[in-house]
Chains A and B, each alone.
Chain A
Amino acid sequence: MNDLDLMAGFRAGVAPPVPGALDAARDRLMSEAAGPDRRRGRLRFRHLAPVAAAVAAVVTVSSLLLRPSAPGTPSAEAAAVLRLAAAGARGAPALAARPDQFVYIHSIQGGATFHFDTANGVETFTPPVERERWDWSSVDGTRGAHIRQKSLEPGKDEPGADWEQAFPPCTTDRVTDCDSDVGYPRDLPTDAAAMRERLYGTPRGDNPADQGAFTTIGDIMRSHYVTPDAAAAMFEAAATIPGVTLVPGAVDTAGRQGVAVSRLERGSRRELIFEEGTYRYLGEREVATADHPAAPEGAVISYRVQLEVAIVDRTKQLP
Protein backbone atom coordinates (compact mmCIF):
# COMPACT_ATOMS: atom_id res chain seq x y z
CA MET A 1 0.00 0.00 0.00
CA ASN A 2 1.27 3.46 -0.77
CA ASP A 3 -0.13 6.94 -0.48
CA LEU A 4 -1.54 6.80 -4.03
CA ASP A 5 -3.56 3.71 -3.09
CA LEU A 6 -4.89 5.77 -0.21
CA MET A 7 -5.91 8.50 -2.66
CA ALA A 8 -7.50 5.90 -4.95
CA GLY A 9 -9.71 4.85 -2.04
CA PHE A 10 -10.40 8.36 -0.77
CA ARG A 11 -14.07 9.14 -1.46
CA ALA A 12 -14.27 6.15 -3.78
CA GLY A 13 -17.78 5.70 -2.39
CA VAL A 14 -18.99 9.11 -3.49
CA ALA A 15 -22.63 9.09 -4.54
CA PRO A 16 -23.46 8.92 -8.24
CA PRO A 17 -25.27 11.93 -9.67
CA VAL A 18 -28.82 12.27 -8.36
CA PRO A 19 -31.39 11.15 -10.93
CA GLY A 20 -32.01 13.91 -13.42
CA ALA A 21 -28.84 15.88 -12.64
CA LEU A 22 -26.99 14.68 -15.72
CA ASP A 23 -30.11 15.02 -17.85
CA ALA A 24 -30.31 18.68 -16.88
CA ALA A 25 -26.63 19.13 -17.71
CA ARG A 26 -27.11 17.42 -21.07
CA ASP A 27 -30.11 19.63 -21.84
CA ARG A 28 -28.04 22.76 -21.20
CA LEU A 29 -25.37 21.47 -23.57
CA MET A 30 -27.76 20.43 -26.28
CA SER A 31 -29.73 23.66 -26.22
CA GLU A 32 -26.49 25.54 -26.74
CA ALA A 33 -25.49 23.09 -29.46
CA ALA A 34 -28.80 23.51 -31.23
CA GLY A 35 -28.38 27.29 -31.26
CA PRO A 36 -31.15 29.69 -32.25
CA ASP A 37 -30.80 29.34 -36.03
CA ARG A 38 -28.79 26.21 -36.51
CA ARG A 39 -31.53 23.66 -36.15
CA ARG A 40 -33.24 24.46 -39.42
CA GLY A 41 -29.98 24.61 -41.34
CA ARG A 42 -28.76 21.34 -39.95
CA LEU A 43 -31.93 19.47 -40.83
CA ARG A 44 -31.76 20.72 -44.36
CA PHE A 45 -28.07 19.82 -44.50
CA ARG A 46 -28.81 16.23 -43.62
CA HIS A 47 -30.93 15.89 -46.70
CA LEU A 48 -28.10 16.93 -48.98
CA ALA A 49 -26.31 14.36 -51.06
CA PRO A 50 -23.51 12.42 -49.30
CA VAL A 51 -20.90 14.03 -51.58
CA ALA A 52 -21.81 17.47 -50.32
CA ALA A 53 -21.59 16.19 -46.76
CA ALA A 54 -18.13 14.82 -47.40
CA VAL A 55 -16.96 18.12 -48.84
CA ALA A 56 -18.36 19.94 -45.84
CA ALA A 57 -16.47 17.60 -43.52
CA VAL A 58 -13.17 18.32 -45.29
CA VAL A 59 -13.71 22.05 -45.01
CA THR A 60 -14.43 21.64 -41.34
CA VAL A 61 -11.21 19.80 -40.63
CA SER A 62 -9.06 22.45 -42.22
CA SER A 63 -10.91 25.22 -40.41
CA LEU A 64 -10.29 23.46 -37.12
CA LEU A 65 -6.60 22.94 -37.81
CA LEU A 66 -5.77 26.32 -39.29
CA ARG A 67 -6.66 28.58 -36.41
CA PRO A 68 -6.27 32.27 -37.07
CA SER A 69 -3.22 33.64 -35.28
CA ALA A 70 -3.12 36.95 -33.46
CA PRO A 71 -2.17 39.88 -35.63
CA GLY A 72 1.37 41.19 -35.50
CA THR A 73 4.85 39.92 -36.12
CA PRO A 74 7.81 39.42 -33.82
CA SER A 75 9.98 42.49 -33.35
CA ALA A 76 12.99 42.75 -35.66
CA GLU A 77 15.41 42.79 -32.71
CA ALA A 78 13.91 39.61 -31.23
CA ALA A 79 13.98 37.88 -34.60
CA ALA A 80 17.64 38.88 -35.02
CA VAL A 81 18.62 37.38 -31.65
CA LEU A 82 16.74 34.17 -32.43
CA ARG A 83 18.41 33.87 -35.83
CA LEU A 84 21.83 34.35 -34.24
CA ALA A 85 20.99 31.61 -31.73
CA ALA A 86 19.88 29.35 -34.59
CA ALA A 87 23.03 30.06 -36.60
CA GLY A 88 25.16 29.18 -33.58
CA ALA A 89 23.41 25.86 -33.08
CA ARG A 90 22.94 24.84 -36.72
CA GLY A 91 25.34 22.16 -37.93
CA ALA A 92 26.90 21.32 -34.56
CA PRO A 93 27.21 17.54 -34.03
CA ALA A 94 24.41 15.84 -32.11
CA LEU A 95 25.18 13.74 -29.03
CA ALA A 96 25.17 10.02 -29.78
CA ALA A 97 22.90 7.92 -27.59
CA ARG A 98 21.72 4.32 -27.42
CA PRO A 99 18.04 3.67 -26.61
CA ASP A 100 19.00 2.12 -23.26
CA GLN A 101 20.92 5.20 -22.07
CA PHE A 102 19.71 8.27 -20.18
CA VAL A 103 19.57 11.97 -20.90
CA TYR A 104 21.20 13.88 -18.04
CA ILE A 105 20.19 17.50 -17.50
CA HIS A 106 21.80 19.56 -14.75
CA SER A 107 20.15 22.87 -13.96
CA ILE A 108 19.61 25.61 -11.43
CA GLN A 109 16.05 26.67 -10.97
CA GLY A 110 13.70 28.55 -8.77
CA GLY A 111 9.96 28.87 -8.53
CA ALA A 112 7.81 31.21 -6.48
CA THR A 113 5.27 29.83 -4.03
CA PHE A 114 1.71 31.02 -4.14
CA HIS A 115 -0.46 30.37 -1.14
CA PHE A 116 -4.18 30.72 -1.43
CA ASP A 117 -5.73 31.57 1.92
CA THR A 118 -9.16 30.05 1.81
CA ALA A 119 -10.27 32.05 4.86
CA ASN A 120 -10.01 35.44 3.15
CA GLY A 121 -9.59 34.50 -0.50
CA VAL A 122 -6.21 36.26 -0.74
CA GLU A 123 -3.33 34.73 -2.69
CA THR A 124 0.13 35.56 -1.40
CA PHE A 125 3.42 35.46 -3.30
CA THR A 126 6.73 34.17 -1.91
CA PRO A 127 9.70 34.80 -4.23
CA PRO A 128 11.60 31.84 -5.69
CA VAL A 129 14.19 29.96 -3.64
CA GLU A 130 17.17 28.69 -5.62
CA ARG A 131 17.60 24.95 -6.11
CA GLU A 132 19.99 22.70 -7.98
CA ARG A 133 18.41 19.93 -9.97
CA TRP A 134 19.50 16.81 -11.83
CA ASP A 135 17.13 15.04 -14.21
CA TRP A 136 17.76 11.67 -15.80
CA SER A 137 15.26 10.48 -18.35
CA SER A 138 15.28 7.38 -20.50
CA VAL A 139 16.52 8.05 -24.04
CA ASP A 140 13.68 6.03 -25.61
CA GLY A 141 11.16 6.44 -22.79
CA THR A 142 11.09 2.78 -21.77
CA ARG A 143 13.36 2.93 -18.74
CA GLY A 144 11.78 5.50 -16.48
CA ALA A 145 13.27 8.65 -15.00
CA HIS A 146 15.03 9.93 -11.92
CA ILE A 147 15.10 13.36 -10.31
CA ARG A 148 17.38 14.74 -7.60
CA GLN A 149 16.86 18.18 -6.15
CA LYS A 150 18.90 20.08 -3.58
CA SER A 151 18.05 23.44 -2.11
CA LEU A 152 20.74 26.11 -2.48
CA GLU A 153 19.08 28.24 0.19
CA PRO A 154 18.15 25.63 2.82
CA GLY A 155 17.50 28.27 5.47
CA LYS A 156 14.79 29.92 3.38
CA ASP A 157 13.43 26.83 1.69
CA GLU A 158 10.51 24.71 2.77
CA PRO A 159 11.11 21.39 4.55
CA GLY A 160 11.43 18.61 2.03
CA ALA A 161 13.00 20.82 -0.64
CA ASP A 162 15.82 18.30 -0.90
CA TRP A 163 14.48 15.16 -2.50
CA GLU A 164 15.25 12.37 -4.86
CA GLN A 165 12.89 10.00 -6.58
CA ALA A 166 12.96 7.26 -9.16
CA PHE A 167 10.03 7.19 -11.56
CA PRO A 168 9.54 3.62 -12.78
CA PRO A 169 8.94 2.81 -16.44
CA CYS A 170 5.45 1.95 -17.65
CA THR A 171 5.07 -1.76 -18.06
CA THR A 172 1.52 -1.74 -19.38
CA ASP A 173 -0.28 1.05 -21.20
CA ARG A 174 -2.54 1.95 -18.31
CA VAL A 175 -0.34 1.96 -15.22
CA THR A 176 -0.29 5.18 -13.29
CA ASP A 177 2.63 6.54 -11.37
CA CYS A 178 5.02 5.52 -14.11
CA ASP A 179 6.98 7.42 -16.67
CA SER A 180 7.10 7.03 -20.44
CA ASP A 181 8.47 10.40 -21.49
CA VAL A 182 11.08 10.11 -24.25
CA GLY A 183 14.26 11.91 -23.13
CA TYR A 184 15.83 12.08 -26.59
CA PRO A 185 13.06 12.73 -29.12
CA ARG A 186 14.31 11.67 -32.55
CA ASP A 187 11.33 12.98 -34.45
CA LEU A 188 11.84 16.72 -33.90
CA PRO A 189 11.88 18.58 -37.22
CA THR A 190 15.16 20.22 -38.23
CA ASP A 191 13.75 22.80 -40.62
CA ALA A 192 11.96 25.92 -39.45
CA ALA A 193 8.70 25.46 -41.34
CA ALA A 194 8.11 21.91 -40.13
CA MET A 195 9.11 22.92 -36.59
CA ARG A 196 6.69 25.82 -36.67
CA GLU A 197 3.91 23.44 -37.63
CA ARG A 198 4.93 21.15 -34.80
CA LEU A 199 4.98 23.97 -32.24
CA TYR A 200 1.55 25.17 -33.30
CA GLY A 201 0.20 21.63 -33.36
CA THR A 202 1.05 20.76 -29.75
CA PRO A 203 -2.09 20.80 -27.59
CA ARG A 204 -2.04 23.76 -25.22
CA GLY A 205 -5.36 23.59 -23.45
CA ASP A 206 -7.27 26.80 -23.95
CA ASN A 207 -4.25 29.01 -24.59
CA PRO A 208 -4.07 31.06 -27.77
CA ALA A 209 -2.11 29.37 -30.54
CA ASP A 210 0.84 31.82 -30.63
CA GLN A 211 1.30 31.66 -26.87
CA GLY A 212 1.10 27.88 -26.99
CA ALA A 213 3.75 27.68 -29.70
CA PHE A 214 6.14 29.91 -27.75
CA THR A 215 5.56 28.09 -24.45
CA THR A 216 6.15 24.74 -26.12
CA ILE A 217 9.73 25.75 -26.98
CA GLY A 218 10.62 26.16 -23.29
CA ASP A 219 8.79 22.94 -22.43
CA ILE A 220 10.71 20.92 -24.99
CA MET A 221 14.09 22.43 -24.09
CA ARG A 222 13.46 21.95 -20.37
CA SER A 223 13.14 18.23 -20.14
CA HIS A 224 14.68 16.75 -23.27
CA TYR A 225 17.88 16.53 -25.23
CA VAL A 226 17.29 18.58 -28.36
CA THR A 227 19.83 18.09 -31.17
CA PRO A 228 21.55 21.29 -32.36
CA ASP A 229 19.73 21.22 -35.72
CA ALA A 230 16.33 20.77 -34.03
CA ALA A 231 17.20 23.59 -31.61
CA ALA A 232 18.17 25.79 -34.57
CA ALA A 233 14.83 25.01 -36.23
CA MET A 234 13.07 25.87 -32.99
CA PHE A 235 14.74 29.28 -32.71
CA GLU A 236 14.11 30.02 -36.39
CA ALA A 237 10.46 29.09 -35.87
CA ALA A 238 10.32 31.28 -32.76
CA ALA A 239 11.48 34.20 -34.92
CA THR A 240 8.16 33.94 -36.77
CA ILE A 241 5.79 33.85 -33.77
CA PRO A 242 3.72 37.03 -33.48
CA GLY A 243 4.17 39.02 -30.28
CA VAL A 244 7.76 37.96 -29.55
CA THR A 245 9.89 40.92 -28.48
CA LEU A 246 13.40 41.58 -27.18
CA VAL A 247 13.69 42.31 -23.44
CA PRO A 248 15.69 45.55 -23.14
CA GLY A 249 19.07 45.25 -21.44
CA ALA A 250 20.86 42.25 -20.01
CA VAL A 251 19.00 39.63 -17.99
CA ASP A 252 20.65 38.13 -14.92
CA THR A 253 19.56 34.59 -14.14
CA ALA A 254 21.30 32.73 -11.31
CA GLY A 255 24.37 34.88 -11.94
CA ARG A 256 24.46 34.34 -15.72
CA GLN A 257 24.13 37.32 -18.04
CA GLY A 258 21.98 36.85 -21.07
CA VAL A 259 19.74 38.43 -23.65
CA ALA A 260 16.10 37.45 -23.56
CA VAL A 261 13.24 37.30 -26.02
CA SER A 262 9.81 37.22 -24.47
CA ARG A 263 6.13 36.97 -25.08
CA LEU A 264 3.32 38.40 -22.97
CA GLU A 265 0.81 36.05 -21.42
CA ARG A 266 -1.98 36.83 -19.06
CA GLY A 267 -0.33 38.00 -15.84
CA SER A 268 3.26 37.41 -16.87
CA ARG A 269 5.79 37.37 -19.64
CA ARG A 270 7.72 34.27 -20.57
CA GLU A 271 11.34 34.62 -21.64
CA LEU A 272 13.84 32.46 -23.48
CA ILE A 273 17.38 33.48 -22.51
CA PHE A 274 20.57 33.24 -24.57
CA GLU A 275 24.14 33.77 -23.46
CA GLU A 276 25.52 37.19 -24.32
CA GLY A 277 28.00 37.08 -27.19
CA THR A 278 27.61 33.40 -28.10
CA TYR A 279 23.77 33.28 -28.19
CA ARG A 280 23.90 29.78 -26.74
CA TYR A 281 20.57 28.76 -25.10
CA LEU A 282 20.86 29.45 -21.36
CA GLY A 283 17.39 28.88 -19.98
CA GLU A 284 14.13 30.63 -19.26
CA ARG A 285 12.28 32.93 -16.88
CA GLU A 286 8.75 33.95 -16.12
CA VAL A 287 8.28 37.52 -14.89
CA ALA A 288 5.08 38.99 -13.43
CA THR A 289 3.35 41.81 -15.27
CA ALA A 290 1.03 44.44 -13.79
CA ASP A 291 -2.04 42.22 -14.22
CA HIS A 292 -0.65 39.31 -12.17
CA PRO A 293 -3.15 38.36 -9.42
CA ALA A 294 -0.58 37.92 -6.63
CA ALA A 295 3.01 38.76 -7.61
CA PRO A 296 4.19 42.38 -7.87
CA GLU A 297 5.00 43.70 -11.34
CA GLY A 298 8.54 42.75 -12.39
CA ALA A 299 8.90 39.96 -9.83
CA VAL A 300 10.53 36.79 -11.15
CA ILE A 301 8.02 33.96 -10.78
CA SER A 302 10.24 31.15 -11.98
CA TYR A 303 13.54 30.65 -13.73
CA ARG A 304 15.82 27.93 -14.90
CA VAL A 305 19.39 27.90 -16.12
CA GLN A 306 20.60 24.84 -17.97
CA LEU A 307 24.14 24.00 -16.85
CA GLU A 308 24.85 20.76 -18.68
CA VAL A 309 23.14 18.22 -20.90
CA ALA A 310 24.82 14.86 -21.49
CA ILE A 311 24.16 11.19 -22.20
CA VAL A 312 24.96 8.66 -19.47
CA ASP A 313 24.45 4.93 -19.03
CA ARG A 314 22.42 4.86 -15.83
CA THR A 315 20.26 7.07 -13.67
CA LYS A 316 22.17 8.81 -10.87
CA GLN A 317 25.36 8.63 -12.98
CA LEU A 318 27.20 11.91 -13.55
CA PRO A 319 28.85 12.55 -16.94
Chain B
Amino acid sequence: MPQITRSAAIADDHTVIRRSADDPEAFGAIFDRHASTVHRYLARRAGPTLADDLTAEVFLAAFRARGRYDLTQPDALPWLYGIAANLLRGHQRSETRQYRALARTGVDPALDGPADLVSERVTAAAHVRALAAVLARLSVREREVLTLVGQAQLSYPEVARALDIPVGTVRSRLHSARQRIRRALADFPELDLTNGADA
Protein backbone atom coordinates (compact mmCIF):
# COMPACT_ATOMS: atom_id res chain seq x y z
CA MET B 1 0.00 0.00 0.00
CA PRO B 2 1.49 3.36 -0.95
CA GLN B 3 2.43 5.75 1.79
CA ILE B 4 -0.14 8.46 2.33
CA THR B 5 1.54 11.84 2.33
CA ARG B 6 -0.18 14.50 4.37
CA SER B 7 -0.98 17.50 2.26
CA ALA B 8 0.33 20.79 3.53
CA ALA B 9 -2.73 22.52 2.07
CA ILE B 10 -5.01 24.39 4.43
CA ALA B 11 -8.11 22.44 5.39
CA ASP B 12 -11.28 23.32 3.46
CA ASP B 13 -14.08 25.10 5.28
CA HIS B 14 -16.14 21.95 5.73
CA THR B 15 -13.19 20.21 7.34
CA VAL B 16 -12.74 23.11 9.74
CA ILE B 17 -16.46 23.23 10.55
CA ARG B 18 -16.56 19.49 11.13
CA ARG B 19 -13.60 19.84 13.46
CA SER B 20 -15.24 22.77 15.27
CA ALA B 21 -18.06 20.53 16.49
CA ASP B 22 -15.51 19.07 18.85
CA ASP B 23 -13.04 21.91 19.08
CA PRO B 24 -15.24 25.05 18.98
CA GLU B 25 -12.31 27.44 18.76
CA ALA B 26 -11.28 25.92 15.44
CA PHE B 27 -14.18 27.95 14.02
CA GLY B 28 -11.94 31.01 14.32
CA ALA B 29 -10.35 29.92 11.03
CA ILE B 30 -13.69 30.46 9.27
CA PHE B 31 -13.74 34.00 10.62
CA ASP B 32 -10.14 34.66 9.58
CA ARG B 33 -10.86 33.46 6.05
CA HIS B 34 -14.14 35.17 5.34
CA ALA B 35 -14.74 38.07 7.75
CA SER B 36 -13.45 40.84 5.52
CA THR B 37 -15.40 39.50 2.50
CA VAL B 38 -18.60 39.30 4.52
CA HIS B 39 -17.95 42.75 5.97
CA ARG B 40 -17.53 44.19 2.51
CA TYR B 41 -20.88 42.77 1.37
CA LEU B 42 -22.63 44.08 4.47
CA ALA B 43 -20.98 47.49 4.07
CA ARG B 44 -22.03 47.76 0.44
CA ARG B 45 -25.62 47.15 1.41
CA ALA B 46 -25.98 48.83 4.78
CA GLY B 47 -22.91 51.05 5.26
CA PRO B 48 -19.69 50.35 7.15
CA THR B 49 -20.92 51.29 10.62
CA LEU B 50 -23.75 48.76 10.63
CA ALA B 51 -21.47 46.29 8.87
CA ASP B 52 -19.08 46.28 11.85
CA ASP B 53 -21.83 45.05 14.18
CA LEU B 54 -23.46 42.73 11.68
CA THR B 55 -20.19 40.98 10.84
CA ALA B 56 -19.91 39.89 14.45
CA GLU B 57 -23.54 38.73 14.39
CA VAL B 58 -23.09 36.77 11.16
CA PHE B 59 -20.24 34.73 12.60
CA LEU B 60 -21.96 34.20 15.93
CA ALA B 61 -25.07 32.96 14.11
CA ALA B 62 -22.91 30.78 11.86
CA PHE B 63 -21.06 29.36 14.85
CA ARG B 64 -24.32 28.47 16.59
CA ALA B 65 -25.72 26.88 13.41
CA ARG B 66 -22.53 25.02 12.48
CA GLY B 67 -24.11 21.67 13.41
CA ARG B 68 -26.49 22.17 10.49
CA TYR B 69 -23.77 22.99 7.97
CA ASP B 70 -23.88 20.80 4.88
CA LEU B 71 -20.58 18.98 5.22
CA THR B 72 -20.44 18.16 1.52
CA GLN B 73 -19.79 21.85 0.73
CA PRO B 74 -16.11 22.81 0.93
CA ASP B 75 -16.74 26.56 0.59
CA ALA B 76 -18.63 28.18 3.47
CA LEU B 77 -18.90 31.59 1.85
CA PRO B 78 -22.35 31.14 0.20
CA TRP B 79 -23.67 29.91 3.55
CA LEU B 80 -22.22 32.98 5.31
CA TYR B 81 -23.66 35.29 2.66
CA GLY B 82 -27.06 33.71 3.28
CA ILE B 83 -26.79 34.40 7.00
CA ALA B 84 -25.70 37.97 6.23
CA ALA B 85 -28.65 38.51 3.89
CA ASN B 86 -30.98 37.13 6.52
CA LEU B 87 -29.66 39.51 9.17
CA LEU B 88 -29.96 42.45 6.76
CA ARG B 89 -33.69 41.75 6.53
CA GLY B 90 -33.93 43.22 10.00
CA HIS B 91 -32.25 46.42 8.80
CA GLN B 92 -34.26 47.22 5.67
CA ARG B 93 -35.15 50.67 6.85
CA SER B 94 -31.54 51.63 7.38
CA GLU B 95 -30.43 50.10 4.07
CA THR B 96 -33.11 51.79 1.96
CA ARG B 97 -32.72 55.10 3.79
CA GLN B 98 -29.12 55.20 2.63
CA TYR B 99 -30.07 54.39 -0.98
CA ARG B 100 -32.67 57.15 -0.90
CA ALA B 101 -30.20 59.64 0.58
CA LEU B 102 -27.75 58.86 -2.21
CA ALA B 103 -30.47 59.20 -4.84
CA ARG B 104 -31.60 62.54 -3.42
CA THR B 105 -28.32 64.24 -2.57
CA GLY B 106 -25.68 62.45 -4.64
CA VAL B 107 -23.71 61.82 -1.46
CA ASP B 108 -23.52 58.20 -0.42
CA PRO B 109 -23.75 57.67 3.36
CA ALA B 110 -22.29 54.18 2.86
CA LEU B 111 -19.09 55.66 1.45
CA ASP B 112 -18.56 58.02 4.37
CA GLY B 113 -15.15 57.56 5.84
CA PRO B 114 -14.14 58.79 9.26
CA ALA B 115 -15.17 62.40 9.94
CA ASP B 116 -11.90 63.93 8.78
CA LEU B 117 -12.36 62.48 5.33
CA VAL B 118 -15.76 63.99 4.79
CA SER B 119 -14.36 66.82 2.74
CA GLU B 120 -13.13 64.30 0.21
CA ARG B 121 -16.61 62.97 -0.49
CA VAL B 122 -17.50 63.01 -4.13
CA THR B 123 -20.90 63.58 -5.54
CA ALA B 124 -22.14 60.54 -7.39
CA ALA B 125 -22.87 60.57 -11.11
CA ALA B 126 -26.50 60.97 -12.12
CA HIS B 127 -26.84 57.37 -13.21
CA VAL B 128 -25.53 56.12 -9.87
CA ARG B 129 -28.19 58.21 -8.14
CA ALA B 130 -30.81 56.69 -10.42
CA LEU B 131 -29.48 53.21 -9.65
CA ALA B 132 -29.71 53.92 -5.92
CA ALA B 133 -33.32 55.02 -6.34
CA VAL B 134 -34.14 51.67 -7.98
CA LEU B 135 -32.33 49.73 -5.26
CA ALA B 136 -34.47 51.48 -2.66
CA ARG B 137 -37.62 50.38 -4.48
CA LEU B 138 -36.72 46.73 -5.09
CA SER B 139 -38.25 44.10 -2.85
CA VAL B 140 -35.78 42.73 -0.34
CA ARG B 141 -35.95 39.36 -2.13
CA GLU B 142 -34.93 40.95 -5.43
CA ARG B 143 -32.23 43.03 -3.76
CA GLU B 144 -30.72 39.94 -2.14
CA VAL B 145 -30.39 38.11 -5.45
CA LEU B 146 -29.17 41.17 -7.33
CA THR B 147 -26.47 42.07 -4.79
CA LEU B 148 -25.30 38.48 -4.35
CA VAL B 149 -24.85 38.12 -8.11
CA GLY B 150 -23.76 41.67 -8.99
CA GLN B 151 -21.68 42.58 -5.95
CA ALA B 152 -20.72 39.34 -4.21
CA GLN B 153 -20.24 37.68 -7.62
CA LEU B 154 -21.89 34.41 -6.65
CA SER B 155 -23.08 31.99 -9.32
CA TYR B 156 -26.80 31.09 -9.55
CA PRO B 157 -26.38 27.78 -7.73
CA GLU B 158 -24.41 29.55 -4.99
CA VAL B 159 -27.14 32.18 -4.60
CA ALA B 160 -29.71 29.39 -4.47
CA ARG B 161 -27.71 27.74 -1.71
CA ALA B 162 -27.16 31.02 0.17
CA LEU B 163 -30.83 32.01 0.16
CA ASP B 164 -32.27 28.51 0.33
CA ILE B 165 -34.36 28.99 -2.81
CA PRO B 166 -34.46 27.02 -6.08
CA VAL B 167 -32.28 28.12 -8.99
CA GLY B 168 -35.43 28.94 -11.00
CA THR B 169 -36.42 31.46 -8.34
CA VAL B 170 -32.95 33.01 -8.49
CA ARG B 171 -33.41 33.46 -12.23
CA SER B 172 -36.84 35.04 -11.86
CA ARG B 173 -35.86 37.46 -9.12
CA LEU B 174 -32.68 38.47 -10.90
CA HIS B 175 -34.55 39.01 -14.12
CA SER B 176 -37.13 41.18 -12.45
CA ALA B 177 -34.51 43.27 -10.62
CA ARG B 178 -32.43 43.78 -13.76
CA GLN B 179 -35.45 44.77 -15.74
CA ARG B 180 -36.30 47.44 -13.19
CA ILE B 181 -32.75 48.79 -13.38
CA ARG B 182 -32.76 48.91 -17.15
CA ARG B 183 -36.11 50.66 -17.24
CA ALA B 184 -34.94 53.24 -14.71
CA LEU B 185 -31.68 53.85 -16.54
CA ALA B 186 -33.21 54.16 -20.00
CA ASP B 187 -32.49 57.90 -19.80
CA PHE B 188 -28.75 57.25 -19.84
CA PRO B 189 -28.09 55.91 -23.35
CA GLU B 190 -24.37 56.60 -22.88
CA LEU B 191 -24.25 53.62 -20.49
CA ASP B 192 -25.23 51.35 -23.37
CA LEU B 193 -26.91 48.79 -21.16
CA THR B 194 -28.01 46.84 -24.20
CA ASN B 195 -24.97 44.61 -24.05
CA GLY B 196 -26.48 42.35 -21.42
CA ALA B 197 -27.11 38.65 -21.40
CA ASP B 198 -30.74 38.93 -22.43
CA ALA B 199 -31.85 37.34 -25.65
Q: Is the interface of B mostly helix, strand, loop or mixed?
A: helix
Complex CA distance for A218 and B135, rounded to whole angstroms:
30
Interface 0/1 of A1-29, CB less than 8 Å to B: 11110111011111111100110111011
> Which among B48, B140, B166, B175 is the interface contact of A165 at CB below 8 angstroms?
B175
Instruction: Say whether B24 contacts A34, CB under 8 Å.
Output: yes
Chain B positions 130 through 148: 1 when the CB is less than 8 Å from some CB of chain A, otherwise 0: 0110001001100000110
For residue B104, CB closer than 8 A to chain A, the reply is no
Interface size on A, residues (CB 8 A): 76
Residues of B within 8 Å of A174, CB to CB, are 153, 155
Contact pick for A3, options B20, B108, B157, B193, CB 8 Å: B193
**Contact across chains for B93 and A121 when beta carbons are under 8 A apart:** yes
Which one of A53-61, A69-77, A239-247 contacts B? A53-61
* Total of A-B residue pairs, C-beta within 8 Å: 234
Q: Please name all residues of chain B whose beta carbon is closer than 8 Å to the beta carbon of A29 when the two chains form the complex.
A: 27-28, 31, 56, 59-60, 63
In the bound complex, do residue A22 and residue B55 qualify as a contact, i.e. CB atoms below 8 Å apart? yes
B116: CB under 8 A from chain A? Answer: no
Is B126 interfacial (CB 8 A cutoff)? no
**CB pair B197 A13 closer than 8 Å:** no
Q: Which of A88-96, A197-205, A253-261 contacts B (4 or more CB under 8 A)?
A: A197-205
Q: Which of A78-86, A178-186, A227-235, A269-277 binds B?
A: A178-186
Contacts of B146-191 to chain A: CB distance below 8 A: 146-147, 149-151, 153-157, 161, 163-164, 166-168, 171-172, 174-176, 178-183, 185, 191
Report chain A residues within 8 Å CB of B44: 10-12, 14
Q: Is the CB of B198 within 8 A of A166?
A: yes
One of A111-119, A188-196, A306-314 at the interface: A111-119
Q: Is B106 an interface residue (CB 8 A)?
A: no
Query: Does B74 reach chain A (CB closer than 8 Å)?
Result: no
- Do A118 and B199 form a contact, CB below 8 Å, given A14-B44, A147-B172? no
Whole-angstrom CA separation of A15 from B121 in the bound complex:
12
A7 touches B35 (CB 8 A): no
A116 contact from B48, B139, B191, Cβ within 8 A: B139
- Asked whether any CB of chain A lies closer than 8 Å to the CB of B111, the reply is yes
Query: Do A179 and B193 have beta carbons less than 8 Å apart?
Result: no
B60 near A8 with CB under 8 A, answer: no
Report which B residues bind A (CB closer than 8 A). 18-25, 27-28, 31-32, 35-36, 39-40, 43-44, 48, 51-52, 55-56, 59-60, 63-65, 67-73, 79, 82-83, 86, 92-93, 96-97, 108, 110-114, 127-128, 131-132, 136, 139-140, 146-147, 149-151, 153-157, 161, 163-164, 166-168, 171-172, 174-176, 178-183, 185, 191-193, 195-199
Give 8 new A-B contacts, CB below 8 A, not counting A60-B18, A147-B171: A6-B131, A11-B110, A21-B55, A26-B32, A34-B24, A163-B179, A165-B198, A223-B168
A residues touching B (Cβ–Cβ < 8 Å)? 1-4, 6-8, 10-18, 21-22, 24-26, 28-30, 32-35, 38, 42, 45, 56-57, 60-61, 63-65, 67, 113-116, 118, 121, 135, 145-147, 149, 160, 163-168, 170, 174-181, 201-207, 219, 222-223
**Top 6 A-B pairs ranked by shortest CB distance?**
A7-B150, A25-B56, A203-B70, A2-B196, A166-B199, A205-B164
Can you report 27 A-B residue pairs in the complex whose CB atoms are below 8 A from each other?
A6-B181, A6-B191, A7-B151, A8-B150, A10-B132, A11-B44, A11-B108, A11-B110, A15-B112, A16-B39, A18-B52, A24-B52, A65-B71, A118-B96, A146-B199, A147-B175, A160-B176, A164-B199, A166-B197, A176-B154, A178-B156, A179-B156, A179-B167, A205-B82, A219-B166, A222-B168, A223-B167
